[in-house]
Amino acid sequence: MARYIPWVWLFVFGSLWGLSELAGAKALDEANVPHASVYLSASGFFLLAVARGLFNRRGTSSVIGGIAALFRLVNAYFVCHILGIFLMGVAFDLAASILLKGEKKGFLRSSLTGITGAYGGYALFAFIMTYVIRYEIWVAGGLPKVLDHVFVSGSLAAGVAALLVPIGYILGLRSRTQARLESRWAFIGSLLLAVIIWTLGRMAG
Distance, in Å, from the CA atom of 163 to the CA atom of 180, rounded to the nearest integer, reads 27
Give me the residues of the chain with pLDDT under 70, please: 1-4, 29-31, 33, 76-79, 103-104, 177-186, 204-205
Confirm if 94 and 120 have CB atoms less than 8 A apart.
Answer: yes
Q: pLDDT at position 59, please?
A: 94
- Residue 1: what pLDDT? 54
User: How many whole angstroms from its chain centre is CA 121?
Assistant: 10
What integer pLDDT is reported at residue 81 of this predicted model? 80
Task: Give the domain ranges of the chain.
Answer: 2-187
pLDDT of residue 55: 86
Report the alpha-carbon distance of residue 178 to residue 51 in Å, rounded: 14
The pLDDT assigned to 182 comes to: 58
pLDDT for the residue 39? 84
Residues contacting 164, CB < 8 A, separation 6+: 42, 45, 46, 49, 114
DSSP 2: G
pTM over 0.85: yes
